[in-house]
Chain A
Amino acid sequence: MNIGEIGAIIIFFVGVYGVIARRNITKTVISIGIMQAAVILFFVATGGAGSTSAPIGAGSTSAPIGAGTDAADAIPQALMITAIVIGIAVTAVALTMFIYLYHKYGTTNWEKARKMREDE
């Protein structure tokens, strides 16, 4: 376990704490963003620990992955680009829905929104 991975685990559970403990819907969306950032950090730290170079351009070779080159593993990095894009899309949809909810109920609080929904 390198420092990046340990950091990622800590950050992930900070995000989990935020989702469980905060009643504010905006903070929930932010906490999920923190969790996603932690996962991205973990992936990148797994693929390229220590003194590896970027798996692109000069210095990287076309040799198979892990076959004695000092370039970082390219797969986690490629996947994380996808994960970042998905994370942005999901956050955007969540915030859009939250704006609609806010216009209807005028609250950012989960519990208040739930009460208003029950009373309808």
Chain B
Amino acid sequence: MSIPLWAPILIPVFFGILTYTLPEKIKKIVAIVGAGTTLVVCVMIFAQTTSGPMSLSLGGWDPPVGIMLFADRISSVLITLTSLLFFSLTIFEFGKKHSKRTFYMLFLILNGLLNGLFLVDDLFSIFVLIEVSTIVVALLIMYKRDSRSMYDGLIYLLVNIFSATFFLFGLAMLYKQTGTFSLSLLGDIITQDMPALYLPFAFIMTSVCLKAALMPLFSWLPRAHGTPSSPSVVSAILSGLYVKSGIYLFLRCQNAFSAIDTQTFFLIAGIITAIIGFVFAIAQSDIKMILSYGTVSQLGLIMIALNTGSETAMWGGVYHIINHAIFKSMLFVGAGEIIAEYKTRNIYEMKGVFKRMPLISAAMIAAILGITGAPLFNGSISKYLISQGSNDLVGDIMLTLINLGTIVLFIKLSRIFAGNTGVKARVPANRAAVCVFLGATCLVLGIFGAPIIEFLFGIQVKIDTAGYIQKSIIFAASVVGAWLIYRFAVRDRAFWKRVRAFDLGFNKIAMSIVLFFVVFTAYLYFG
């Protein structure tokens, strides 16, 4: 039986609306059934795309007039990943009480919207999906209606609408030049470097880079992902998956406009983003903010991978998208449990977490080993592939430096596990199961890295044992170095306090968007 491509978009939306109409007891079960059905459908679509890409023209109208859905290996893997995470997080939420009826509705609708963003081939539909998901995410961020999150939610909403308007203006100019919105048709039309397309491309890319939280457009992200009021599963989805839709759009747009060479620009932007991300993260003491800035740093790393121009590094980047989704959602979910147990978000006030919550701590440690690229864990495979692609000394030093920063950051975070206080906390079975699943996935994706990549994307990567061992030795050296840096350099309180206090108001964020646009346009015309 062949599954139509609209199914993973409409099924979760349908179940989401259904949960809104049902009483409290049934709707949790319906939500799990809905997320589970979506997952099954996505897996079946993945099975279908292994024999070749699929496409579906909605309403029987073909591009350039109609809207087309398109699934290749990458997008079908991404929708499967999305639905898998939504499914496990819905199970995770099962025992919790929700004061409002809208939670599951918004949560499942977001699942459908994300699947849509990964599947649709039409730029105008992407604009619509971006706008709607912005509203849904804003509502989920301020879910508990705490006044701090009102401000965070409003900033998030207005910054994203502002940039989406840039996107739409770019589309208008693009339509005038090319007469189509279809990304695959655009790839065929744009065969040479056309200066007339620079301006629309700059408008579109400004918005896409904001979604992907590239430097200097990241200041909305920690606010949105780390806000006190959003439930931890929402933070997990936002940080693990939602930003990936920006990265994916970046990949698709860059492919369509491949005649316009921008790799150097985004390579440098990626390096700056990765470094700034961990510097800000080290300065924080709020556990959710640490993780949010950590996301910025990892996004920079993915951006580097996609722009080195090497095939291996590109696949390393795509694999890192999956890995990051797994370990970052694990870290956010675990952090949410710890916050609920300790009633504080400050990591200096958390002590003896390992004794108190051994299972969650173990899963979190697996995720930390994954994100720092420890041997055998999933991060090491993707980071190894990325460094394969940038096969020169400068690139190697850059990547080692970025990883060093990540390790310092997580050494700082790991201090919460030490100590010996309190009694053991009870963890409900469903949450424990999800944590074990996510933690174990980090290990499985690491040990079977090469076969899994071949299974998912149908390409063969070579993981050279000698090179991998060499990377492991570099990792061990980095840990020692990072510990020394943490011991001696992170003590300088005044400097880190200044970094921590750095915070842009709305007008300055808007200004940075316009500046990015101007600089990028200038780069296109004169660079």
Contacts and interface: CB of A to CB of B under 8 A. Distances in A.
Interface of A: 5, 12, 15-16, 19-23, 25, 28-29, 32, 35-36, 38-39, 42-43, 46, 65, 75-76, 79, 82-83, 86, 89-90, 93-94, 97-98, 100-101, 104-105, 110-111, 113-114, 117-118, 120
A39 B172 contact: yes
B149 to A, nearest CB: 9
A35 B506 contact: no
A110 B505 contact: yes
> What size tier do the contact residues of chain B reach?
35 or more
Contact of A90 (B135, B148, B176, B510): B135
Given A76-B175, A105-B147, A117-B148, A82 B128 contact: yes
B396 interface: no
A97 B159 CA distance: 14
A28 B169 contact: no
Nearest to B223: A117
* A interface, over-half SS: helix
A65 B128 CA distance: 24
A89 B135 contact: yes
A28 B506 contact: yes
Given A89-B135, A104-B150, A117-B148, A39 B507 contact: no
**What secondary structure prevails in chain B residues at the interface with A?**
helix
A75 to B, nearest CB: 7
Nearest to B152: A117
Interface of B: 65, 124, 128, 131-132, 134-135, 138-139, 142, 145, 147-148, 150-154, 157-158, 161-162, 165, 168-169, 172-173, 175-176, 503, 505-507, 510-511, 514
Given A32-B161, A94-B161, A117-B152, 6 more contacts: A42-B172, A93-B139, A97-B142, A98-B154, A100-B150, A114-B506
B158 A75 contact: no
Contact of B514 (A20, A42, A97, A114): A20
23 contacts: A5-B176, A16-B514, A23-B507, A28-B158, A28-B506, A32-B162, A35-B162, A38-B169, A42-B169, A43-B175, A65-B65, A86-B128, A90-B135, A94-B161, A97-B150, A97-B154, A100-B145, A101-B154, A110-B506, A110-B507, A113-B151, A117-B148, A117-B152
**What 9 A-B pairs have minimum CB-CB distances, sorted nearest first?**
A104-B147, A42-B172, A117-B151, A110-B506, A46-B176, A35-B165, A101-B150, A19-B510, A43-B172
Contacts of A100: 145, 150
A94 B65 contact: no
A82 B228 CA distance: 34
A120 B147 contact: yes
B505 A114 contact: yes
